[in-house]
Amino acid sequence: MLMSLLKRLAPFFSASRTQERIPVIEGGRRAGVWVSHETALTIGAYYRCVRVIADSLASIDWRVKRLRSDGGCDIAANHPVDRILARKTNPFMTAFAFKELMVSWALTWGNAIALIDRDDRRQVSGLWPIPPWRVTIKMQPGWRLTYEIRNEPGGEPTVLDARDVYHLKNLGEDGIEAYSVVTLDRRSIGVSIATEQHGESLFANAARPAGVLDHPGKLSPEAKDALRDDWNRRFQGAGKAWGTAVLQEGMKYSLLSMSSQDAQFLESRKFSVIEICRWVGVHPYKAYDLDGMKYSNTEHVNRDFHNDTLSPWASRMEQ
């Protein structure tokens, strides 16, 4: 049974994981940097927002329940689907790992898709995630919805009917396919990446003092290089910043660069956290931005997170 299942799924997973490249989104260059679904997760605030929603939802038990005549319900622990949803989704993934992956895909790509595998009796026997960047959703004649899976280059695509697909989707324009959040938010993410790169460059190349050394005489090219190298050796880098310079032979130093505060660097980084939280729908507190947080309002923030963020996603997953 397992071997036949793997053979059936082989086209979905045959591409090498080390060679397959997640595509860069169309028009993905923003703020001078390339924005993709991979680079977006290098931003700490974005990664944390996705992680806190995915982990919170993955921690919730999915159980199959039977309704009683009195209106109550009981957990159907012996039902095969209950085992798939609550313990082992497929031979390689726990239920937690499956839910976490599906929610993270839906939060970034907008669509999270999995194959509903069935045994010889047409009973559900497992759920297999399919990378959303390899899926094209099409409406066929007769209002038949299909999912076309791109396989290895040159290979024939695999077409799945909608009844064989579990599709968790984010907000979309037609109720069939969702928007990619990273695509919509690429400007804010691009600014965040550019800000991180600016900070990296600032601390890697920060010579303090920084500016122009004015020598009263004329220096040879070799002397210029030696003076520049000595200056950088003494003052360049975060560990040597703000050192004391001793100038000789009538040299003068002129400050040219702006400070991080003058460029509002720290303020820009802080605003990027709030902007990303706004896009994903998470209070900045959940991304460890603790400004304005007190013991008195923590309970209200957690309640809002449950009502405004987790509850709608839980309804999407259940339905």
C-beta of residue 238 within 8 angstroms of C-beta of residue 206: yes
β-sheet bridge partners, residue 116: 127
β-sheet bridge partners, residue 252: 214
- What is the chain's pLDDT, residue by residue, as a tens digit (319 residues)? 455 545 555 555 554 444 455 554 444 554 556 777 777 777 878 889 899 999 999 998 888 899 998 989 999 888 888 888 888 999 999 999 999 999 999 998 999 999 999 888 888 889 999 999 889 998 888 888 999 998 777 678 889 999 999 999 998 888 888 888 888 777 777 777 777 766 666 666 655 555 666 667 776 788 777 777 877 777 666 566 666 666 666 666 665 555 555 556 566 667 678 888 888 888 887 777 777 777 777 888 888 889 988 999 999 998 8
C-beta of residue 116 within 8 angstroms of C-beta of residue 127: yes
C-beta of residue 213 within 8 angstroms of C-beta of residue 253: yes
Give the separation between CA 20 and CA 38, rounded to whole angstroms: 13
C-beta of residue 170 within 8 angstroms of C-beta of residue 106: yes
Distance of CA 217 to CAs 74, 75, 306, Å? 91, 89, 70
Residue 177's Cβ-side half-sphere holds a number of Cα atoms within 13 Å equal to 12
Cis peptide upstream of residue 209 (ω within 30 degrees of 0): yes
Q: Is 313 exposed, middle or buried (0-12, 13-18, 19+ CB in 10 A)?
A: buried
Global pTM reads: 0.72
Other residues' Cβ atoms within 10 Å of the Cβ of residue 59: 10
Max CA pair span of the chain:
100
Distance of CA 60 to CAs 49, 64, 96, Å? 18, 13, 9
Q: Which helix (H) or strand (E) holds 96?
A: helix 95-108
Q: Is 126 helix (H, G, I), strand (E, B) or coil?
A: strand
Give the separation between CA 280 and CA 261, rounded to whole angstroms: 28
Other residues' Cβ atoms within 10 Å of the Cβ of residue 310: 16
Q: Is 264 helix (H, G, I), strand (E, B) or coil?
A: coil
